[in-house]
Amino acid sequence: MPLLDGSVGVEDLVLLEPLVEESLLQNLQLRYESKEIYTYIGNVVISVNPYQQLPIYGPEFIAKYQDYTFYELKPHIYALANVAYQSLKDRDRDQCILITGESGSGKTEASKLVMSYVAAICGKGEQVNSVKEQLLQSNPVLEAFGNAKTIRNNNSSRFGKYMDIEFDFKGSPLGGVITNYLLEKSRVVKQLKGERNFHIFYQLLAGADAQLLKALKLERDTTGYAYLNQEVSRVDGLDDASSFRAVQSAMAVIGFSEEEIQQVLEVTSMVLKLGNVLVADEFQANGTPASGIRDGRAVREIGETVGLNSEELERALCSRTMETAKEKVVTTLNVMQAQYARDALAKNVYSRLFDWIVNRINESIKVGIGEKKKVMGVLDIYGFEILEDNSFEQFVINYCNEKLQQVFIEMTLKEEQEEYKREGIPWTKVDYFDNGIICNLIEHNQRGILAMLDEECLRPGVVSDSTFLAKLNQLFSKHGHYESKVTQNAQHQYDHTMGLGCFRICHYAGKVTYNVTNFIDKNNDLLFRDLSQAMWKAQHPLLRSLFPEGNPKQASLKRPPTAGAQFKSSVAILMKNLYSKNPNYIRCIKPNEHQQRGQFSSDLVATQARYLGLLENVRVRRAGYAYRQGYGPFLERYRLLSRSTWPHWNGGDREGVEKVLGELSMSSGELAFGKTKIFIRSPKTLFYLEEQRRLRLQQLATLIQKIYRGWRCRIHYQLMRKSQILISAWFRGNVQKKHYGKIKASVLLIQAFVRGWKARKNYRKYFRSEAARTLADFIYKSMVQKFLLGLKNNLPSTNILDVVTKTWPAAPYKCLSTANQELRQLFYQWKCKRFRDQLSPKQVEILREKLCASELFKGKKASYSQSVPIPFCGDYIGLQGNPKLQKLKGGEEGPVLMAEAVKKVNRGNGKTSSRILLLTKGHVILTDTKKFQAKIVIGLDNVTGVSVTSLKDGLFSLHLSELSSVGSKGDFLLVSEHVIELLTKMYQAVLDATQRQLAVTVTEKFSVRFKENSVAVKVIQGPAGGDNSKLHCKKKGSRCLEVTVQ
Ligand SMILES: Nc1ncnc2c1ncn2[C@@H]1O[C@H](COP(=O)(O)OP(=O)(O)O)[C@@H](O)[C@H]1O
Ligand SMILES: [Mg+2]
């Protein structure tokens, strides 16, 4: 039931009102004009050829149809393919998809849609994909070799094809088997007006590159080939060149090796060239007509291509060896016979090549033995054909269609109605046409047309097509579905459409007049043995393998089965195969004869609808039930829906089914209980049941999961609990053990103490008190004694002049190390005191001066360290013995502390001049070195400070108080070689004289007063290595004096 709103007409003809032919056609037309080409009758799909590409195919639609059930979306071939595939997968039922309809009604396209749908939705994976690819790629190859342009269809299949796709239990494709039926091989040598030979010839010429053409000795121009119809070498909408490339790559995908492809093309080109073998009249010596090859080129080229001796081929084409048990007779053939032989060879080579290709494909896609498989068969067989001139081919094609119609009738109309009767379901019979009688007419083993034909072929004596016809006329003179000129005459009918050499059969799909000409020949399908033997001798492996009977060792005189008999038996096998599977129908309808889009010829469609039995189909469907199944399997599938039947049911199957369906409260009209089966009227109900089952399965899965999870958790918990108990038991035990150990140790300790205490208490009276301290004192004292005695013996040298030895013995006990340190210090202090005590007052004075110098300059001035070892001698100019110099002292009392030659730096220009400096207790006296008279006398109380550099130089500045008479002129900048001694003595003299500490500043930058101004002195370290006393003054401007010292 269509669930979609806005559908055009009715989507399922079961719902059609009123149910008459007119409304059925109107409905189809209405839908066709709205581009709704698919319509259902229940689960049968009717497809009306749109002759245009509609946007209703492709992955998007495939995905959609995969997700919905049959009636939920618009009618589509995908929906049918989906049902078939799902049923195959879920219900394990082999399926077949029967596509029927006239030639050009869209069967092949429908079969491709089914295959592409199944390929898209079935399993995935590398291997599966390669199988799918191979299955899909078999199409272009088979179409190239087996399809041709006909008047009705530009891509008409000229062979029947049944393809079994085999799946594993998961529904992934494993491979397949292709069966082909009777290729229309007469097309190889002759085509009707407006038709073409098989596609591959045109594809090869158009698509092969120059190199390949050359290798095959072909020319691109189709006009050069007698077998190719010259009028229509191109077909609109077909691109031969690109199809050729597609065929080549498809063959490679399927697994053809490069050599195999090459060989196939070589044999194909051989067939083409056979057409160019021209036979001409010749006469033998005795005057009987014979034949010969006129232009040897074609034969030569064939010979070169397939490795065949061209003379041998020529002989085989133009003569015939008759062989009896006793002798061999060679007869020459006349031109007609030779042409016949040539064409027969071409047809045979081509049709055998086609069979070989099908077998080769089967080899690639075949499934390994032993793999359990399910099968989906797709049947795309040539459609019913009524041509102007119908021959043997049309006869077998139409016979096959007749059989398919029979399958349809048997399985949908007859079987169904009979089943209702059998099962005791109330039923009003629907009439339909049963074509069994026509099938019988053709195929009856003794009295069928095919049997008659075989009989004629095998009968000794003069046999011809007309003797065959005469036989038919005689046998079927009264048959309702057989007519001929003779039977018509007998009934005094006049029919100008009936030729003399014709008979007519009223097929289910219409009357067809067959011309008996060549029936015998085509049925015999004779190929002279000379030709098959010649082919077998070819070097070409493929060609050779096509003619096994040419092997003289295998030669048999037995006739091969006739074409008709072969076809009949393969159709019988096919029928058996189809009956064993669940059928799914696609009924194709051709809307017009002109391959025009949008044109809907009611008459044409009405004819087809009539013979397809669409109305009857709808009637049976309407009154009938969509689904039936035995009680057993039905109960097995659905018993989980009821609590009474699940999980255990002990009653009978039927009661069980009643119980299940009763609980689901189905409406009574929906169900019918037969004797062995349950019938369900509408698919909706079935879908409902399936949905319920799916939900229930989910519930059950959840239940199983729940119980399993619960069980797993419980086991886990129990394990954890057991482990926990074990761990805590061990832990507690351990704690207790430790605790006990502690208590035990404590008890023992207490016991020991108590025992000790008791023992001491008992024995105390025997001990003297204070003994321990006395002992300790004694021990300590003896340690000290030992220490001191050891120290005495190891004392370092007491010689005061020995300052080198500073070792001191280590304390024997650690507790005495502090005392030891103190003793060491005492020792050295004592040694120092002894040294000091033995010094004379003068030495003391000298050392005091040295001490003062160290306090003033140690670590401050670089030249200090040099001055340390040199004793201060005070007089450096020999003052003592020089009364002249003594005078300089003037009236000054006391000794001269320091007498030295110094340099005075002229503050004005930086030049130096020599002076003698005397330091007395109260003054500093500067005199000229030559004149020896005091030039400047400076009272020490006027000296405010001195500045020296930190370097090794002797420069110093004498800062004077401004108030003094000398000082008003400014400070002195002097250079002394004994600057450390001089300044130390000056410091002490100032301290003695004025109780004031002279400020001694160590700096590189100081300022000296010069009259009223001050001059900044900057001392710079000159390059090393010069004379210490050298210094160089440079005036920089009026306020700056730069002194470079070494
Ligand atoms: N579903 C379709 N969509 C579009 N065109 C179609 C469809 N079915 C058939 N045709 C057209 O009709 C032509 C004949 O179809 P085909 O399947 O070869 O017919 P049949 O096999 O019945 O002889 C195709 O070549 C194509 O052009
Ligand atoms: Mg076809």
Tell me: the pLDDT tens digits for 820-845?
A: 999 989 988 888 888 888 888 888 88
Residue 915: pLDDT band (50, 70, 90) is confident
Is 102 marked as binding a ligand? yes
Q: Quick check: 879 pLDDT over 90?
A: no
Q: Tokens in use for 177?
A: 């088997």
**What average pLDDT does range 142-168 have in this prediction?**
91
Least confident stretch, 552-566, 646-660, 710-724: 552-566
Closest ligand 1 atom to 47 CA: 1
Closest ligand 1 atom to 109 CA: 17
Is residue 351 within 8 A of residue 159, CB to CB? The reply is no
Higher pLDDT, 313 or 554: 313
Ligand 1 proximity of 153 Cβ (cutoff 6 Å): yes
Cα–Cα nearest to 897, from 875, 881, 868: 875
Residues 6+ apart with CB under 8 A from 1033: 905, 910, 911, 912, 1041, 1042, 1043, 1044
Cα–Cα nearest to 93, from 655, 618, 630, 612: 630
Q: Quick check: 889 pLDDT over 80?
A: no
Higher pLDDT, 961 or 351: 351
* 63 Cα: distance to centroid of ligand 2 (angstroms): 27
- Please list the residues that pair with 637 across neighbouring strands: none
Is residue 132 within 8 A of residue 365, CB to CB? The reply is no
* 155 Cα: distance to centroid of ligand 1 (angstroms): 8
Higher pLDDT, 769 or 598: 598
Residues 6+ apart with CB under 8 A from 803: none
* Alpha-carbon Rg for the chain in angstroms: 67
Closest ligand 1 atom to 380 CA: 21
Ligand 1 proximity of 50 Cβ (cutoff 6 Å): yes
Percent of the chain scoring above 70 in pLDDT: 97
Ligand 1 proximity of 656 Cβ (cutoff 6 Å): no
Cα–Cα nearest to 178, from 265, 76, 254, 92: 254
The two most distant CA atoms of the chain are separated, in Å, by: 197
Q: Quick check: 887 pLDDT over 80?
A: no
CA distance 989 to 996: 10
Q: Tokens in use for 588?
A: 């194709």
Ligand 1 proximity of 1028 Cβ (cutoff 6 Å): no
> Which ligand is closest in space to the CA of residue 161?
2
SS3 186: helix
**What average pLDDT does range 505-526 have in this prediction?**
88
pLDDT, residue 540, reads: 92
pLDDT, residue 1038, reads: 75
Neighbour tally for 870: CB within 10 Å: 11
Is residue 980 within 8 A of residue 853, CB to CB? The reply is yes
Least confident stretch, 398-407, 952-961, 1023-1032: 1023-1032
Q: Quick check: 967 pLDDT over 70?
A: no
686-694, Cβ contacts within 8 angstroms, sequence gap of 24 or more: 686/626, 686/627, 687/69, 687/70, 687/71, 689/638, 689/641, 689/664, 692/638, 692/641, 692/664, 693/637, 693/638, 693/640, 693/641
**What average pLDDT does range 288-308 have in this prediction?**
85
pLDDT, residue 3, reads: 38
Q: Quick check: 674 pLDDT over 50?
A: yes
Q: Tokens in use for 623?
A: 């009154």
SS3 925: strand
Is residue 540 within 8 A of residue 309, CB to CB? The reply is no
pLDDT, residue 34, reads: 93
SS3 36: coil
Between the CA of residue 294 and those of 318, 535, 890, what are the distances in Å? 11, 21, 168
* 563 Cα: distance to centroid of ligand 2 (angstroms): 22
SS3 878: coil
Q: Tell which phi-psi region holds residue 203, choosing left (phi > 0), alpha (psi between -120 and 50) or beta.
A: alpha
Ligand 1 proximity of 233 Cβ (cutoff 6 Å): no
Alpha carbon 799 to its chain's center: 99
* 49 Cα: distance to centroid of ligand 1 (angstroms): 6
* CB-proximal residues (5 Å) to ion ligand 2: 107-108, 157
Is 106 marked as binding a ligand? yes
What one-character-per-residue DSSP string does 503-533 give?
EEEEETTEEEEEE-TTHHHHHHT---HHHHH
**H or E segment and range at residue 163:** strand 160-167
Is 366 marked as binding a ligand? no
Residue 940: pLDDT band (50, 70, 90) is confident
**What average pLDDT does range 702-723 have in this prediction?**
96
Q: Tell which phi-psi region holds residue 53, choosing left (phi > 0), alpha (psi between -120 and 50) or beta.
A: beta
Between the CA of residue 924 and those of 892, 935, 960, 994, what are the distances in Å? 11, 11, 11, 14
Q: Tokens in use for 1000?
A: 């001694």
CA distance 989 to 993: 6
Least confident stretch, 577-591, 637-651, 890-904, 914-928: 890-904
Burial class (CB in 10 A: 0-12, 13-18, 19+), 310: middle
pLDDT, residue 714, reads: 96
pTM exceeds 0.75 for this model: no
* 156 Cα: distance to centroid of ligand 2 (angstroms): 5
* 156 Cα: distance to centroid of ligand 1 (angstroms): 9
Q: Output the CA torsion sign for 824, 827, 833, 836.
A: negative
**What average pLDDT does range 200-206 have in this prediction?**
94
Percent of the chain scoring above 90 in pLDDT: 34
User: Exposure string (b/e) for 177-203, b if CB count within 10 Å is 16 or more?
Assistant: bbbbbbbbbbbbbebeeebbbbbbbbb
Ligand 1 proximity of 175 Cβ (cutoff 6 Å): no
**H or E segment and range at residue 833:** helix 817-837
Which residue's C-alpha comes closest to atom 6 of ligand 1?
51
Ligand 1 proximity of 147 Cβ (cutoff 6 Å): no
DSSP H helices in 226-275? 240-254, 258-274
Between the CA of residue 458 and those of 57, 527, 561, 623, 743, what are the distances in Å? 52, 16, 10, 51, 122
Is residue 628 within 8 A of residue 678, CB to CB? The reply is yes
CA distance 187 to 522: 13
Report the DSSP pairing between strands 510-515 and 502-507. antiparallel
What DSSP designation does 430 have? Answer: P
CA distance 175 to 163: 10
Is 104 marked as binding a ligand? yes
SS3 105: coil
Is 644 marked as binding a ligand? no
Which residue's C-alpha comes closest to atom 20 of ligand 1?
104
Ligand 1 proximity of 109 Cβ (cutoff 6 Å): yes
Max mean pLDDT among 9-13, 52-56, 308-312, 628-632 falls in: 52-56
pLDDT, residue 741, reads: 96
3-state helix/strand/coil string of 569-634? HHHHHHHHHHHCCEEEEEEEECCCCCCCCCCCCHHHHHHHHHHHCHHHHHHHHHHCCCEEEEHHHH
Q: Quick check: 1008 pLDDT over 90?
A: no
Residue 726: pLDDT band (50, 70, 90) is very high
Is 1034 marked as binding a ligand? no
Q: Quick check: 47 pLDDT over 80?
A: yes
Q: Quick check: 327 pLDDT over 90?
A: no
Q: Quick check: 4 pLDDT over 50?
A: no
Ligand 1 proximity of 49 Cβ (cutoff 6 Å): yes
CA distance 1018 to 997: 26
Ligand 1 proximity of 588 Cβ (cutoff 6 Å): yes
Between the CA of residue 475 and those of 435, 506, 518, 635, 817, what are the distances in Å? 19, 16, 20, 54, 151
When the pLDDT of each residue in the chain is averaged and rounded to a whole number, the result is 87
Closest ligand 1 atom to 103 CA: 23
CA distance 136 to 125: 16
Q: Quick check: 882 pLDDT over 80?
A: no
Ligand 1 proximity of 157 Cβ (cutoff 6 Å): yes
Neighbour tally for 673: CB within 10 Å: 16
Closest ligand 1 atom to 105 CA: 22
* 861 Cα: distance to centroid of ligand 2 (angstroms): 122
pLDDT, residue 1024, reads: 66
Cα–Cα nearest to 106, from 151, 61, 156, 60: 156
Ligand 1 proximity of 537 Cβ (cutoff 6 Å): no
pLDDT, residue 592, reads: 94
pLDDT, residue 627, reads: 77
CA distance 582 to 85: 11
Ligand 1 proximity of 275 Cβ (cutoff 6 Å): no
pLDDT, residue 1025, reads: 56
pLDDT, residue 1, reads: 35
Is 108 marked as binding a ligand? yes
CA distance 396 to 449: 11
SS3 975: strand
Q: Quick check: 664 pLDDT over 60?
A: yes
**What average pLDDT does range 724-728 have in this prediction?**
96
Higher pLDDT, 753 or 43: 753
Amino acid at 695: L
pLDDT, residue 165, reads: 92
What one-character-per-residue DSSP string does 545-556 give?
HH-GGGSGGG--
* 86 Cα: distance to centroid of ligand 2 (angstroms): 26
Q: Quick check: 760 pLDDT over 80?
A: yes
Closest ligand 1 atom to 102 CA: 22
> Which ligand is closest in space to the CA of residue 106?
1
Q: Quick check: 399 pLDDT over 70?
A: yes
Q: Quick check: 632 pLDDT over 60?
A: yes
Residues 6+ apart with CB under 8 A from 678: 628, 629, 631, 634, 657, 661, 671, 672
Angle at 451 between CA 449 and CA 457, to 5 degrees: 105
Which residue's C-alpha comes closest to atom 16 of ligand 1?
106
Is 665 marked as binding a ligand? no
Amino acid at 333: L
CA distance 901 to 875: 10
SS3 89: helix
Report the DSSP pairing between strands 289-293 and 95-100. unpaired
Burial class (CB in 10 A: 0-12, 13-18, 19+), 585: buried
CA distance 93 to 73: 24
